[in-house]
Amino acid sequence: MKRIIAVANQKGGVGKTTTNINLATCLAQAGKSVLVCDMDPQGNTTSGLGVDKHTLEKSIYTLLLGESYLEEVALKIEGIDGLFLLPANIDLAGAEIEMLDLASREFRLRDVLSHAKYLYDYILIDCPPSLNILTLNALCAADSVLVPIQCEYYALEGLTQLMHTINLVHGKLNPRLALEGVVFTMYDARTNLSAQVVDEVKSHLADHTYQTIIPRNVRLSEAPSHGLPITLYAPQSKGAEAYEQLAREVMAKNFLADEPQKELL
Ligand code: ADP
Ligand code: MG
């Protein structure tokens, strides 16, 4: 079954990009074909996968504006069979304004991916840290939303707003959209706080939390500066182990689901 998953949370620094890069890589290493869409003008997914964002001529920006074809933009990631990237850079920041003039501007990404979704087992979309038109495009293109939550103070701040947005998009723009699940990130087993955050979120969203918890792991924060996913940078690390387990959980869940999980919201 084909899945398009948007990794979203309007808070910055919660592990969206780290989850995107490493979940996508682990899915590809498990034999799936995977396309990663970088919808953040910061282009951290792009550089984190070893692609130089400063020299891009074609990117997700030119794709959204209808100036390129997907086949021209998609880059094969070296060293990871089956992994492809639609890269982004700061040009994408202009898209929000330039797209204002375009018809059905919230559906540009959906339309761009309309054929690609038959070519890949999974498409993962990295969202920017806001609920803007780029995030809206991601939510309109996706089957489900995966929400990374950092096990820190204020983790729940903004979660209600995000759920409200997801519900709104589900009701008005994309009836396929479901909540894929919450993933806890940067869990620190030494602090009570991490455990408290997990308990609190579970008390609200028990059925929608992944069992896999991503620990705070320094290797995960080092890997992007080498342009490598964790499984290539530090394959024996706790971080690599956690994202491999998350990929298995995502695959198992999607294997069990015969239908997009509409009722979940
Ligand atoms: P977002 O995309 O939500 O802004 P990032 O994935 O870029 O968040 O993560 C924010 C920062 O935290 C980055 O410097 C990243 O390397 C680091 N980071 C993310 N996950 C972990 C983790 N599990 N352990 C340690 N550092 C992490
Ligand atoms: Mg990011």
- The string of DSSP letters for 214-236 reads EEP-HHHHHGGGGT--HHHH-TT
Average pLDDT of the chain is 92
Mean pLDDT of 76-84: 97
Identify the residue whose C-alpha is closest to ligand 1 atom 10. 13
CA of 15 to the centre of ligand 1 (A): 4
Which residues are near ligand 1 (CB < 6 Å)?
Answer: 12-18, 44, 129, 185-186, 214, 216-217, 220-221, 224, 239
* pTM exceeds 0.85, yes or no: yes
Mean pLDDT of 45-58: 96
Mean pLDDT of 38-61: 96
Whether 33 has a pLDDT exceeding 80, the answer reads yes
Q: Which residue has the higher pLDDT, 261 or 45?
A: 45
Atom of ligand 1 nearest to the CA of 9: 3
Give 262's pLDDT tier (boundaries 50, 70, 90).
Answer: very low
CA of 258 to the centre of ligand 1 (A): 33
Atom of ligand 1 nearest to the CA of 150: 20
Q: Which residue has the higher pLDDT, 193 or 20?
A: 20
Whether 222 has a pLDDT exceeding 90, the answer reads yes
pLDDT of residue 161: 87
pLDDT of residue 174: 96
Give 207's pLDDT tier (boundaries 50, 70, 90).
Answer: confident
Give 259's pLDDT tier (boundaries 50, 70, 90).
Answer: very low
Identify the residue whose C-alpha is closest to ligand 1 atom 20. 15
* Residues above pLDDT 90, as percent of the chain: 76
Atom of ligand 1 nearest to the CA of 21: 6
Q: Mutate which of 216, 221, 237, 238 to test ligand 1's pocket (most atoms within 8 Å of Cβ)?
A: 221
Whether 265 has a pLDDT exceeding 80, the answer reads no
Q: Of 56-60, 99-103, 125-129, 179-183, give the lowest mean pLDDT range.
A: 99-103
Q: Mutate which of 7, 10, 14, 18 to test ligand 1's pocket (most atoms within 8 Å of Cβ)?
A: 18
Identify the residue whose C-alpha is closest to ligand 1 atom 1. 13
Question: Is 78:106 a contact under the CB 8 Å cutoff?
Answer: no
Q: How many residues does the chain have?
A: 265
Cα distances from 194 to residues 14, 70, 109, 155, 200, in angstroms, run: 13, 41, 35, 10, 10
CA of 15 to the centre of ligand 2 (A): 7
Closest C-alpha to 197, from 184, 216, 179: 184
Residues with CB under 5 A from ligand 2 (ion): 16-17, 44
pLDDT of residue 2: 62
pLDDT of residue 136: 95
CA of 224 to the centre of ligand 1 (A): 10
Give 78's pLDDT tier (boundaries 50, 70, 90).
Answer: very high
- Per-residue pLDDT of 94-143, as tens digits, reads 988 888 888 889 999 999 999 888 899 999 999 999 989 999 999 999 99
Cα distances from 130 to residues 1, 162, 168, in angstroms, run: 29, 10, 16
pLDDT of residue 254: 80
Strand partners, 37: 86, 125
Whole-angstrom distance, CA of residue 47 vs CA of residue 119: 24
Closest C-alpha to 20, from 154, 140, 130, 128: 128
- Per-residue pLDDT of 132-175, as tens digits, reads 999 999 999 999 999 999 998 788 887 888 999 999 999 999 99
pLDDT of residue 128: 96
